[in-house]
Amino acid sequence: MSKLVTFEGATPAGGGSTITELLVEDDDGNRAVLTKGQEVEVEDSLAEVAQNVDHHKVSVKGAPDRTPSKDELVARAEELDVEGRTSMNKDQLAEAIAKAEAEAEEASS
């Protein structure tokens, strides 16, 4: 899944010039360069990294206005161990993923 991220600039902890670009990298080696004022679609893991960088203002919006491809849905369903995922259509996958994510969230509460 992905999110829209906007880097709003930053001031270094010790003061100085405003930072206008930010490179973020997640644990899997995925990278994105965020430029001040530009909205960029990034993987959820990169959005999380960007939000947690000290002294930086990064806003993250929910899912972008595009729907995930069937391959993306199948991959997410696999992560959630959804049974029968390979025989489902996109609508069925989206519904099964939403149910599995809700169940996982409820179990972690």
Residue 104: closest CA among 77, 67, 75: 77
At 12, list the tokens. Answer: 């270094």
Q: Delimit the domains of the chain by residue range.
A: 2-61, 70-108
What single-letter amino acid sits at 59?
Answer: S
Nearest-angstrom CA–CA distance, 68 and 22: 26
Which pTM was predicted?
Answer: 0.42
- C-alpha angle 53-56-58 in degrees, rounded to nearest 5: 90
Per-residue model confidence as pLDDT tens digits over 8-48: 766 665 666 667 777 777 777 878 887 777 777 777 776 77
The answer to whether the beta carbons of residues 57 and 16 sit under 8 Å apart is no
- C-alpha angle 101-71-58 in degrees, rounded to nearest 5: 60
The answer to whether the beta carbons of residues 12 and 54 sit under 8 Å apart is no
Per-residue model confidence as pLDDT tens digits over 38-95: 777 777 776 776 666 654 555 555 544 456 788 888 998 999 999 999 999 988 998 9
More confident residue, 77 or 7: 77
